[in-house]
Amino acid sequence: MQKVIDVKGLKKSYGELEAVKGVDLDVYEGECFGFLGPNGAGKSTTINMLCTMLKPSGGSAKIGGFDLMKERASVRETIGIIFQDNTLDEKLTAKENLMLHCRFYKVPAQERMTRIDRVLEMVELSDRKNSFVGTFSGGMKRRLEIARGLLHYPKVLFLDEPTVGLDPQTRAHIWDYIHKLREEIGITIFLTTHYMDEAEICDKIAIIDDGRIIALDTPAGLKDGVGGDIIEISADNNLKAKEELEQKYGRTVKEQDSILIFEVEKGNEFIAEFVKNADFRITSINLRRPTLNDVFLKLTGKQIRD
């Protein structure tokens, strides 16, 4: 498989603050690549550099084979960008918005209408082609933005929290379109998200924290890294329970919303032993397999959605 995004030692400082401290990333053709990190970790700074909107302070990157520093115009033609903010012109119709983008990206005049019809069909907005965007729902606007991001047939689509603020049904629909795109045009997707279920769909995930990549693997690989089972316990005396788990059983315990969370290799056996010997009342106990949120919590000390 061909490398579509090839990043080496990418850095960005804002004055004294080193926001991105030497990031290495490889993304291959057709992959859906998830870029996760807590607030302020450096996601937007990295994505903005890869989209040529921000000049790196150091390192190098190639997008679709073009050098991010020296071939910025070619990089721009290679990528589509869908960011959180709505950048559609609400006073124009869907078709007019798309036409503007075609002109902007110098799509040949004789091809424009064919492409517009195709992308509108892809996001099921053909029947609203001549409606003003101001009359669209949030989900429809997002779909139109996706359609617009595809008009110049980019190789890579950058999506910065593509479904933030949308209801679950619309989120599911947007994902259907994204999957369709991958199947129909084999596009590579670079995505930031705070939703665990969206991260789960990615082929690979990189986790950035404090400007550095701290993990890069498939979702399954990341979860395997947590090891064993996850146990969640609450007791009438959480302080005592935590102390016991740490001192007697040598566990590393995180407390979230009055629930003690920790990993053990064989959860069933551990629970039996723990319950038998506890001299405090256990009010709830839960055993489960690790999720990406556990991975995130272990690596960054925070939940995916802060």
Which residues lie near ligand ATP (CB under 6 A)?
A: 14, 17, 19, 37, 39-45
Q: How far apart are CA 94 and CA 110, in angstroms?
A: 19
Nearer to ligand ATP among residue 39 and residue 169 (C-beta): 39
Q: How many Å apart are CA 264 and CA 229, to the nearest integer?
A: 5
In this complex, which beta carbon is closest to ligand ATP, that of residue 44 or of residue 163? 44
The nearer residue to ligand ATP, 37 or 80, going by C-beta atoms, is: 37
Residues 6 or more apart whose Cβ sits within 8 Å of residue 113: none
Backbone φ/ψ region at 259: left (φ over 0), alpha (ψ -120 to 50), beta: beta
Nearest-approach distance from CB 39 to ligand ATP, in angstroms: 4
Count of other CB atoms within 10 angstroms of residue 146: 22
Q: How far is the CB of 251 from ligand ATP (least distance, A)?
A: 30
Output the smallest distance, CB 298 to ligand ATP, in A: 19
CA triple 56-154-91, angle to 5 deg: 95
CB of 171 to ligand ATP, least distance (A): 18
Q: In this complex, which beta carbon is closest to ligand ATP, that of residue 160 or of residue 244?
A: 160
Least CB distance from residue 43 to ligand ATP, whole Å? 3
In the complex, least distance from residue 161 CB atom to ligand ATP, rounded to whole angstroms: 8
Q: Residue-wise over 162-180: b if at least 16 C-beta within 10 A, else e?
A: bbeebeeebbebbeebbee
Q: Cβ 165 to ligand ATP, closest distance in Å? A: 14
Percent helix, strand, coil in the chain, to 5, is 40, 30, 30
Nearer to ligand ATP, 4 or 23 (CB): 23
Taking the C-alpha atoms of residue 62 and residue 77, their distance in angstroms, rounded to an integer, is 13
State which residue, 97 or 300, has the beta carbon closest to ligand ATP. Answer: 300
CA distance 220 to 292: 9
Which pair of structure tokens corresponds to residue 7?
């990043």
Tell me whether residue 45 or residue 52 sits nearer to ligand ATP (CB atom). Answer: 45
41 or 102: CB nearest ligand ATP: 41
Tell the smallest beta-carbon distance from residue 44 to ligand ATP (Å): 3
From the number of C-beta atoms within 10 Å of its C-beta (0-12, 13-18, 19+), residue 36 rates as buried
Q: What gap in Å lies between CA 232 and CA 217, rounded to an integer?
A: 26
